[in-house]
Amino acid sequence: MNLRLAINVEDFRRLARRRLPKLVFDFMDGGVLDECTRDANERDFRRIELRPKACATLTDFNTGTSVLGTPVSFPLLVSPMGTLTMFHPEGDAAIARAARKTGSIFMHSFVSGVTIEDTVKAIGDADRVWAQTTLRTPEENEAYRRRVANLGIRTLMIAAETVGSDKRERDLHNGLATMPPRPPLKGLVDFALHPGWVYRWLTGPNTTFADHRIDGNPIRMSQMYSFMGEYGRPNWSALQRLRDSWDGNLVVKGIGTPEDALLAVDLGADALVVSNLGGRHFDGQPSTISVLPDIVKAVRGIGSSIDIVVDGGVRRGSDIVRALALGATAAAAGRPFGYAIAAAGQEGAEKVFGIYREEFTATMKSVGASTVREINSSVLHPGPLGTSGWHQAATGMGHAEASVVASH
């Protein structure tokens, strides 16, 4: 397949698989342990059925909305991903430029290979960048916040991660237990079979954590694992201190339960990202779309109207409609943009945005929604087997009750 023939996200995944050495593709594509959570994220979206609206009148049709006050052309954001430069030398900058053209928002990872300054330059609008921070020494935290503020970025994000280990078995089999990697012989042969990637990687910028320095230099590959081991995984009081020291928006990512959502709201978060980090850290937790309704109910139940973004397994524009129908403000995608730049850099990212937008638009029309506001629980199909639970969670109605309403 070539780029011209790629018509959906899965096609971009296939292209990425062909263009990247196995070790690199698996690092992006894989999840932890048995990858149950990674797979559930995608699978559960497909179980949610939507109600068709025949002969809909779609006056003033518009896919636009806003997230944290920033207008977006349709409700899809880019989730933060570290080391995107492994997939394409331009990394974050390629996706950020595509996000600018599309009118989306790019979340910059705290372990990106492209500095926050270069990312803002690429997107040309600081409001469209959410800067992910981590907690290290107070001096480092303060210095990073100053850089972000000087760039005019209004939104800081932090991942409220689980604290377990990241046993990604594809990576271990491929020799990524060490950095730089030590692939087995067949892995070395596989690199030789991808000369295009090897050439781009050797002639491109060094793979680093560009925003963090040791002795004045960006963190190199050999220093990455020790850096990841020592940075401060946040606890709730550290998040509160971060909140108190930052005047702009604070987004808490990694929320997977109503209780944690309420803690984040309580500390003063301006938005949540319901996320299990694509099943890359803790296997066995449920899909994000399955926990979304309870989180929305808990947050709205205490009168909070903060924005709620959901990521994990969003592979179709119709998944964005499903997410909004279950109460999200917007959806976000990670790996699909990794596949996109691996396949074709910025052009790939633009195409992937275009695919999502086209599918989102078509689905909106099919459910009879003229605006994003009109996508709510009324577009969810209440039965049969397995799907009534979604509807019940979103509407508070049982299956039988909901069927009666739906038939009127």
| Residues in contact with ligand FMN by the rule CB under 6 A | 28, 41, 79-82, 109, 111, 132, 159, 253, 275, 277-278, 280, 311-314, 333-335, 338
HSE value, Cβ hemisphere, 13 Å, CA-based, for 346: 12
Measured from the CB atom, is 122 or 310 closer to ligand FMN? 310
Non-local (6+) Cβ contacts of 290 within 8 A are 40, 44
Coil, helix or strand for 91? Answer: coil
Measured from the CB atom, is 343 or 402 closer to ligand FMN? 343
Please state the closest distance from residue 395 (CB atom) to ligand FMN, in A.
26
Coil, helix or strand for 151? Answer: coil
Nearest Cα neighbor of 20 from 245, 227, 170, 208 is 170
Measured from the CB atom, is 41 or 102 closer to ligand FMN? 41
19: which 2 tokens?
Answer: 């263009």
What is d(CA 22, CA 38) in angstroms, rounded to the nearest whole number? Answer: 18
Please state the closest distance from residue 157 (CB atom) to ligand FMN, in A.
8
Residue 293 backbone phi and psi in degrees, to 5? -55, -40
Helices 22-29 and 9-19 sit at what angle, rounded to 10 degrees? 150
Q: How many CB atoms within 10 Å of residue 257? A: 15
Please state the closest distance from residue 254 (CB atom) to ligand FMN, in A.
7
Measured from the CB atom, is 45 or 390 closer to ligand FMN? 45
Please state the closest distance from residue 109 (CB atom) to ligand FMN, in A.
3
Measured from the CB atom, is 82 or 368 closer to ligand FMN? 82
Give the 3-state secondary structure of 248-268.
CEEEEEEECCHHHHHHHHHHC
Please state the closest distance from residue 57 (CB atom) to ligand FMN, in A.
34
Please state the closest distance from residue 394 (CB atom) to ligand FMN, in A.
21
Please state the closest distance from residue 282 (CB atom) to ligand FMN, in A.
12
Q: How many CB atoms within 10 Å of residue 1? A: 12
Rounded (5°) CA angle 89-93-97? 130
What is d(CA 160, CA 172) in angstroms, rounded to the nearest whole number? Answer: 25
Please state the closest distance from residue 148 (CB atom) to ligand FMN, in A.
16
Measured from the CB atom, is 212 or 253 closer to ligand FMN? 253
With b meaning 16 or more CB within 10 Å and e meaning fewer, what string describes 98-117? bbbebbbbbbbbbbbbbbbe
Q: Looking at beta carbons, which residue is closest to ligand FMN?
A: 334
312: which 2 tokens?
Answer: 């994990």
Q: Do 99 and 106 form a contact (C-beta atoms < 8 A)? A: yes
HSE value, Cβ hemisphere, 13 Å, CA-based, for 347: 6
Please state the closest distance from residue 31 (CB atom) to ligand FMN, in A.
9
Strand partners, 72: 65
What is d(CA 105, CA 99) in angstroms, rounded to the nearest whole number? Answer: 6
Measured from the CB atom, is 83 or 377 closer to ligand FMN? 83
Measured from the CB atom, is 194 or 315 closer to ligand FMN? 315
Measured from the CB atom, is 130 or 390 closer to ligand FMN? 130
Please state the closest distance from residue 52 (CB atom) to ligand FMN, in A.
27
Measured from the CB atom, is 213 or 373 closer to ligand FMN? 213
